[in-house]
Amino acid sequence: MHVNYDDLIPVIRKLALEAGDKIMEIYQADDFDVKLKSDESPVTAADEAADAIISAGLRTAFPSVMLVTEEQSDTHTIKGDTFLIVDPLDGTKEFIHRRGDFTVNIAMVEGGVPTRGVVYAPAKNRMFFTLADGQTVEEVGALDKDAMGTLIPISVSKADNTALMVVASKSHRDQATDDYINKYAVNDMKSAGSSLKFCLIATGEADVYPRLGRTMEWDTAAGHAVLLGAGGDVVRFDDQTPLKYGKADFANPFFIAFAPSVELKPA
C-alpha cells in the first residue's frame, strides 16, 4: 500500500513537533518517574505520552497502513515489508540524565527500505526530514507546527580517507567497536546519542558510524531514511549488504552508516 508522500511529510513533521513539545514539558519538570521494561530498559512518561500522540495522529491520517512503535512492539507482528515505524523517544537514557541527545523518530518503510522519515531533537532544536521528492533537509527557524520554516538541503561529505571523522555511540562503546574504528585513518571522533549519529553523517559533520551492538528497527529507520535522502547509506557490518527492515523480531544486525566516499574496511 503506497502512501502519498505529499500527504505523509507534513503529518510526520507536525507529529514529531507535537511529541517534542510534550517530551520537553516532562523533561523540564522537577522530576519524572522512570520504570523498567521487561528487558530492563528504562521507559518514562515522556516515551508513553509521545507514543500516544504519534500513534493517534498516524492512525487517523493513514488508517490502512500498518504501524509499528517501540512502546507497543510486544503486540506487533510484521505483515509484509511496508509500514510506518516510530521510536517516540530514542535516547531515553540521555533524557533521564538530561543530556539533550534524544530524538523523536518517525519513518515510512517500503519494500524493507526506509524511504521517508523525520528525526527531531527537541532539546537541541534540530529537525531533519525527507521531503516528498526524497531529498533530506534540515529545517531552521521557529519550527512552527503549522508552517515550515527555512529548509536547507543537506548532503553527505566528500570524505578524506586519510583523516576521517567518526561518530560513535555515547553509551555503547566497546573494544570491538574501537578495534574496527582503528582500521581507519581517523582525524577526530565525535560522540552523539540516539539517531543524531545518522544525521551528523547526513549533514557532512561526520563520515562514518559503525554500530557493533544491539539496535532495533525503530531506533534506526528514521535516521536511515534521513541519511539515504542526503546521499548516504547503511549496510550490515558482516557482509556490507543493505540493512533491511521488516524482520520478525525487529532486531537489527550490527551495521555501518557512512558517506559513500568512505572506503569501507571489512569486518
The H or E element spanning position 14 is helix 5-27
Q: Mention every residue, 6+ apart, whose C-beta is less than 8 A from residue 119.
A: 16, 103, 104, 105, 127, 128, 129, 195, 196, 198, 199, 222, 223, 226
- Percent of all residues in the chain with a pLDDT value above 90, rounded to a whole number: 75
User: Looking at residue 39, which CATH number applies to its domain?
Assistant: 3.30.540.10
User: Looking at residue 186, which CATH number applies to its domain?
Assistant: 3.40.190.80
Based on the fold, state whether residues 34 and 138 are members of the same structural domain: yes
Query: Is residue 264 situated within a structural domain?
Result: no
Average pLDDT, rounded, for the chain: 92
CA distance 256 to 251: 15
Range of the domain at 120: 5-153
Based on the fold, state whether residues 75 and 196 are members of the same structural domain: no
Based on the fold, state whether residues 135 and 177 are members of the same structural domain: no
Based on the fold, state whether residues 33 and 71 are members of the same structural domain: yes
Based on the fold, state whether residues 172 and 113 are members of the same structural domain: no
- What's the helix, strand, coil split of the chain in %, to 5? 30, 30, 40
Instruction: Quote the pLDDT of residue 55.
Output: 96
Q: In sequence order, what DSSP letters do the residues of 221-257 get, joined into one string?
A: HHHHHHHHTTT-EEEETTT-PBP----TT-EEPPEEE
C-alpha cell at 147: 508552517
Based on the fold, state whether residues 147 and 172 are members of the same structural domain: no
Whether 55 and 67 have beta carbons less than 8 Å apart is answered as yes
Whether 198 and 223 have beta carbons less than 8 Å apart is answered as yes
Based on the fold, state whether residues 89 and 133 are members of the same structural domain: yes
Query: Is residue 236 situated within a structural domain?
Result: yes
Instruction: Quick: pLDDT tens for 15-46.
Output: 999 999 999 998 888 777 888 777 667 777 88
CA distance 14 to 201: 24
**103-110/113-121 β-pairing:** antiparallel
Query: Is residue 139 situated within a structural domain?
Result: yes
C-alpha cell at 160: 578524506
Choosing from 153, 188, 209, the residue where a domain stops is 153
Task: Over range 116-127, report the average pLDDT.
Answer: 96
Helices (H) and strands (E) in the chain, counts: 6, 16
Lowest mean pLDDT among 57-61, 67-71, 184-188: 67-71
Task: Over range 136-165, report the average pLDDT.
Answer: 97
CA distance 59 to 151: 27
Instruction: Quick: pLDDT tens for 187-202.
Output: 999 988 779 999 999 9
Query: Is residue 115 situated within a structural domain?
Result: yes
Choosing from 131, 153, 175, the residue where a domain stops is 153
Based on the fold, state whether residues 10 and 103 are members of the same structural domain: yes
Band of the pLDDT at 259, cuts 50, 70, 90? Answer: very high
How many independent structural domains does the chain possess? 2
Based on the fold, state whether residues 186 and 108 are members of the same structural domain: no
Query: Is residue 267 situated within a structural domain?
Result: no
Based on the fold, state whether residues 69 and 12 are members of the same structural domain: yes
The letter for the amino acid at 165 is M
Task: Over range 103-115, report the average pLDDT.
Answer: 97
pTM: 0.94
Task: Over range 143-163, report the average pLDDT.
Answer: 97
Choosing from 129, 153, 177, the residue where a domain stops is 153
Instruction: Quote the pLDDT of residue 118.
Output: 98
Query: Is residue 244 situated within a structural domain?
Result: yes
Based on the fold, state whether residues 12 and 138 are members of the same structural domain: yes
> 75, exposed or middle or buried, with CB in 10 Å at 0-12, 13-18, 19+?
exposed
The letter for the amino acid at 34 is V
pLDDT of 97 strictly over 80: yes
